[in-house]
Every structure is written in structure tokens, then in C-alpha cells.
């Protein structure tokens, strides 16, 4: 099979949810640089939409937790560009919360954003992609929390574990016309997350990762380009780990610290 330039997305249309800042903006920018037409969404208009190579992403205001808004987002993208080839479900996140005292409303919002919203947008995208000869691809941005929960993330962990399961279920149902894959992200250095990594700017945290650094948004964007492109044409239902090899086990770090203290 001749796949030509696997990083050339000219003529393709990509939708990135939560694509106005952080990881989402990096993903949108990567696809713009690869030649794609890109739509992004958010609840509030950004000061400037992601841009690259003299082109700017098309912004659609949408709260993807609302099924009607999710469907409208896809409709607006298709109205603007005439098709939809790639959906990146990136919108998500959660502040830490004590599972013993957190409110039902908080739990509902976290599950809605991290699990239900990707489902709603994917459903709408599938209706478009299944009618296209070339089909399409969905990439769900998940979290290492789905595999290794951290304190304060019970609702988020449950939702992200559900997203991984959803990915595998949709991959079975929608193949071969629409491929659905998942990216497990680890620690990522973004402006919004800088405060949680400590007074040293994250240097100590980085030493807990096998690659000796935290990921940057471009690392996730590169994985999206791969999963959405022809090199991954037979990759479906996969969970691609973009976490630098993961974090060292606590017992290993404790033993190493004890050895240094001797």
C-alpha cells in the first residue's frame, strides 16, 4: 500500500475538543502544520485560536457535556469544511477532590466531561465518517490515572477508565470504516499544571519518570498524528502509552533514598 507522506494531512479535516489551550492547542497546531483544516471548541472564545503556516483553526463555542451541543459542534465543522476525517477527544480534566466528601454534582460533572462528552462527540462524528468513502479516525486522550489511580482523583480515575473501555468497545463496533484509539498520557508540563509540580518547577517530579523529564504537549500531538494517519491504518482499539515509560514505583524511590541517606 502506497501511503505517500504519512504526515501530510492536506485535504483532511480534524476536530479537536478543548483545542484552544494547552495540550489541545498543541494538537490543533500540529495538524495545521501537517496541512489539515482544523476546528477546535471550548466553552469560551480564546484570545487567539491555534494557528500555523499562516492558517488559523476554526473555533466553535460548545459545551461538549451537552449532547445537543456536541452534535452541533460536529455539524458546524462539516458545514464549514464539508467533511470530517479525524476527531481528537481532548477536552477533560479535574481538580483533586476528597472522595469521602465530594458532592454528587462534582462527580456528575467530572464523569460528564471525561467520559460522556467523548461519547457524545464520537457518536456525532461517526454519523459523518461512516458516510465517507475514506471513513475516519477517533483518538481519545486518556490518562495514566485509568491504570494507576492517585489520591484525590476517584471520579476522574473512574471516568478515564471508562474512556479506555469505551475506546475498545467503539473500535469493535465501528471497524473497519472508523478506527478508534486511545492515548494514555502521563505527567505533562503545561502552564496550567505548573503549580502542582512543586516549587522547583517540576525537577523533582521529573526524576520519578523513566525518561527523566515530563512530557510536553508536542509529545501527545505527535502521537495523535500517528494514530490519525496512514501509518496506523491497521491500528484499532489500541492504547498508546505516552508517559515516558511511566513513574518509578514508590518502593524503588524509597529504597534509593534510603541508600543515599546512609
Confirm if 13 and 39 have CB atoms less than 8 A apart. yes
Residue found under cell 507522506: 5
Q: How far is CA 205 from the centre of its chain?
A: 22
Confirm if 241 and 219 have CB atoms less than 8 A apart. no
Exposed/middle/buried for 176, CB within 10 Å: 0-12, 13-18, 19+?
A: exposed
Q: For residues 180 and 160, give the distance between their C-alpha atoms in angstroms, rounded to a whole number.
A: 15
In 3D space, the residue among 34, 27, 30 whose CA is nearest the CA of residue 11 turns out to be 34
Half-sphere exposure of 262 (CA within 13 A, CB side): 6
Is 197 marked active-site?
Answer: no
Confirm if 243 and 215 have CB atoms less than 8 A apart. yes
Q: Which one is catalytic: 156, 197, 234, 252?
A: 156
Q: For residues 60 and 17, give the distance between their C-alpha atoms in angstroms, rounded to a whole number.
A: 10
Q: For residues 146 and 184, give the distance between their C-alpha atoms in angstroms, rounded to a whole number.
A: 8
Q: For residues 9 and 37, give the distance between their C-alpha atoms in angstroms, rounded to a whole number.
A: 8
Instruction: Tell me the β-bridge partners of 56.
Output: 51
Q: Which residues are catalytic?
A: 156
Amino acid at each position: 500500500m502506497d501511503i505517500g507522506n504519512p504526515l501530510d494531512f492536506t485535504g483532511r479535516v480534524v476536530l479537536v475538543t478543548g483545542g484552544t489551550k494547552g495540550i489541545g492547542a498543541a494538537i490543533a497546531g500540529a495538524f495545521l502544520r501537517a496541512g489539515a483544516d482544523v476546528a477546535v471548541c471550548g466553552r469560551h472564545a480564546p484570545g487567539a485560536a491555534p494557528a500555523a503556516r499562516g492558517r488559523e483553526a476554526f473555533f466553535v463555542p460548545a459545551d461538549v457535556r451537552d449532547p445537543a451541543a456536541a452534535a452541533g459542534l460536529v455539524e458546524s465543522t462539516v458545514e464549514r469544511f464539508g467533511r470530517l476525517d479525524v476527531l481528537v477527544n481532548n477536552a477533560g480534566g479535574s481538580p483533586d477532590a476528597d472522595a469521602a466528601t465530594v458532592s454528587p454534582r462534582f462527580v456528575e460533572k467530572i464523569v460528564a466531561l471525561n467520559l460522556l462528552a467523548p461519547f457524545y462527540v464520537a457518536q456525532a462524528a461517526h454519523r459523518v465518517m461512516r458516510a465517507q468513502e475514506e471513513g475516519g479516525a477517533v483518538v481519545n486522550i486518556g490518562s495514566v490515572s485509568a491504570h494507576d489511580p492517585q489520591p484525590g482523583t476517584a471520579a476522574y480515575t473512574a471516568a478515564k477508565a471508562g474512556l479506555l473501555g469505551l475506546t475498545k468497545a467503539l473500535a469493535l463496533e465501528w471497524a473497519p470504516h472508523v478506527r478508534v484509539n486511545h492515548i494514555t498520557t502521563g505527567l505533562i508540563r503545561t502552564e496550567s499544571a505548573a503549580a502542582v509540580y512543586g516549587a522547583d518547577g517540576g525537577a523533582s517530579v521529573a526524576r520519578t519518570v523513566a525518561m527523566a523529564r515530563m512530557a510536553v504537549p508536542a509529545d501527545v500531538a505527535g502521537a495523535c498524528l500517528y494514530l490519525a494517519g496512514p501509518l496506523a491504518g491497521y491500528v484499532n482499539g489500541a492504547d498508546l502509552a505516552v508517559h515516558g515509560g511511566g513513574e518509578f514505583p514508590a518502593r524503588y524511590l524509597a529504597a534509593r533514598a534510603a541508600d543515599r541517606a546512609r
